[in-house]
Amino acid sequence: MNYGEFGGQYVPQELKEKLNEIAKEFRKAKHNKEFNKEYNYYLKQFVGRPSPLYLAENLTQYAGGAKIYLKREDLNHTGAHKINNAIGQILLAKRMGKTHIIAETGAGQHGVATATVCSLFNMKCTIFMGSEDIIRQRLNVEKIKLLGANVKSVTRGDGTLKEAVDEAFEYFVEHKDVFYLIGSAVGPSPYPEMVKYFQKIIGEEAKKQILKQDKKLPKAIIACVGGGSNSIGLFNDFLKEDVEIFGVEGAGKGLNSGKHACAIYDNKIGILHGMKTYIMQDNSGNVKDAYSISAGLDYPGIGPEHAYLSTIGRVKYDSVTDDEAINAFKIVCKLEGIIPALESSHAIAYGLKIAKKYNKEDSIIVNLSGRADKDIETILNLK
């Protein structure tokens, strides 16, 4: 895929060979009717798709302005969008004859999704997770173990998602039987393209649903962005339409605090995890520590397609602070009876901000990318 100057394969030769093998098989598989039939079967019968597009009437009334629709990825099996991609990639791994799946995880949702599909297809599973995230996301760690996977604690650096990805890549290079099931639209080619292919179902469904329910396209669509899989999944089918598109990064304690996870705001291009993209780095080119209350947004880079969409101006990338996300979380809990993940709460907070700029007959779609089982302890510790 062409993402302008972004993307690529900035990796050692031995890893390039593995990546090119995956790319070759993926490009064959995505044009294979049987592969797509099997993928769609599991999306429907195992994941529970299509996920609803829900008109949040109370939230709409609270915000004033456009109707707010929530794309309910939280209702998927395992509680987030991550399962869409996990199903697709494990079917590819099975097709390639791989027997050992590895994955990285921050918030734990991708770890749970990967462990789930490995259980389903009887494959060995190792999940790399930063030591700090293991503490923050204890419930998901226990779920991963119950599903039969091994959780490998990564203690280097900050002990968060970046370090988990680093260690997973090292393991991938060293072991022949391994398939690395990356959870976000990041990393060297073909991963950004592949993850988008398995997540674009979100936008395909949302577009059909809004046209059926509202009889017209929305004025805007909004999703949170860490690496960017739930967002690119929603955005893809709307990119050629006359629809405003917003990606929301985690502003943490504030953009001037030095404690945030806004790679595009940092406006520096570099190499991270085998891709060229916007990354948080200091003047010496060292990757800076990312911070967000949401473990899934706590990543110092962004997927290369997002970097490209920002550069050409098709998508506007903005940010929401921890406090704004927590406030939105509480509002949705009280008004809609839905407990959204802290990642999704960033997108909801932004949706509440911009709803007022549209008319009451207009609509906006917010991707509710996951539920908050994993975040309850974080929320309780704020008190």
- Cα-based torsion angle of the residue sequence 165, 103, 345, 258 in order, rounded to the nearest 10 degrees: -10
Catalytic residue among 67, 82, 98, 143: 82
Burial 324-353 (b: 16+ CB within 10 A, else e): bbbbbbebbeebbebbbbbbbbbbbbbbbb
Sign of CA dihedral 257, 259, 262, 265: positive
One domain for residues 227 and 109:
no
Task: Judge whether 200 counts as a catalytic residue.
Answer: no
Listed in order, strand segments (DSSP E) in the chain are 53-55, 67-72, 100-105, 124-130, 150-154, 178-180, 220-224, 244-252, 269-272, 275-278, 316-321, 363-368
Domain assignment of residue 67, yes or no: yes
**Is the separation of the CB atoms in 353 and 64 below 8 Å?**
no
pLDDT tens digits, residue range 75-111? 999 999 999 999 999 999 999 999 999 999 988 899 9
| DSSP character at residue 68 | E
CATH number at residue 158: 3.40.50.1100
Question: Among residues 142, 169, 195, which one ends one of the domains?
Answer: 195
Question: Among residues 140, 164, 195, which one ends one of the domains?
Answer: 195
Question: How many angstroms separate the CA atoms of 104 and 17, rounded?
Answer: 21
Its domain, for residue 183, covers 13-43+82-195
One domain for residues 190 and 121:
yes
Question: How many angstroms separate the CA atoms of 383 and 381, rounded?
Answer: 5
Averaged pLDDT for residues 212-217: 98
One domain for residues 59 and 39:
no
- Label each residue of 228-241 as H, E or C: CHHHHHHHHHHCCC
Domain assignment of residue 1, yes or no: no
How confident is the model at residue 160, as a pLDDT? 86
Cβ count within 10 A of residue 93: 23
Q: Would you state the structure tokens that stand for residue 249, as one six-digit string?
A: 């990064």
| pTM over cut 0.85 | yes
pLDDT tens digits, residue range 144-197? 999 999 999 999 988 888 899 999 999 999 998 999 999 999 999 999 999 999
Whole-number percent of the chain with pLDDT over 70: 100
Give me the number of domains the chain comprises: 2
Catalytic residue among 73, 104, 132, 324: 104
pLDDT interval class at 201 (50, 70, 90): very high
Question: Among residues 195, 216, 237, which one ends one of the domains?
Answer: 195
Specify the 3-state DSSP secondary structure of 89.
helix
One domain for residues 53 and 97:
no
Domain assignment of residue 248, yes or no: yes
One domain for residues 96 and 152:
yes
Domain assignment of residue 233, yes or no: yes
Task: Judge whether 82 counts as a catalytic residue.
Answer: yes
Closest CA to 227 of 179, 170, 150, 290: 290
One domain for residues 241 and 125:
no
One domain for residues 248 and 268:
yes
Catalytic residue among 184, 189, 231, 369: 369
Domain assignment of residue 190, yes or no: yes
| DSSP character at residue 262 | -
pLDDT tens digits, residue range 363-383? 999 999 999 999 998 999 886
Q: Would you state the structure tokens that stand for residue 96, as one six-digit string?
A: 């390639």
Q: Vertex 326, ends 321 and 329: CA angle to 5°?
A: 125
Domain assignment of residue 6, yes or no: no
Task: Judge whether 153 counts as a catalytic residue.
Answer: no
pLDDT tens digits, residue range 303-334? 999 999 999 999 999 999 999 999 999 999 99
- Cα-based torsion angle of the residue sequence 170, 174, 180, 186 in order, rounded to the nearest 10 degrees: 30
One domain for residues 52 and 28:
no
Question: How many angstroms separate the CA atoms of 207 and 222, rounded?
Answer: 13
Query: Mean pLDDT over all residues of the chain?
Result: 96
One domain for residues 218 and 281:
yes
Domain assignment of residue 299, yes or no: yes
Question: How many angstroms separate the CA atoms of 162 and 286, rounded?
Answer: 13
One domain for residues 21 and 111:
yes
One domain for residues 71 and 156:
no
Instruction: Determine the length of the chain.
Output: 383
**Is the separation of the CB atoms in 306 and 147 below 8 Å?**
no
pLDDT tens digits, residue range 117-128? 999 999 999 999
Domain assignment of residue 95, yes or no: yes
One domain for residues 276 and 181:
no
Question: How many angstroms separate the CA atoms of 223 and 367, rounded?
Answer: 5
Burial class (CB in 10 A: 0-12, 13-18, 19+), 77: middle
Question: How many angstroms separate the CA atoms of 202 and 258, rounded?
Answer: 33
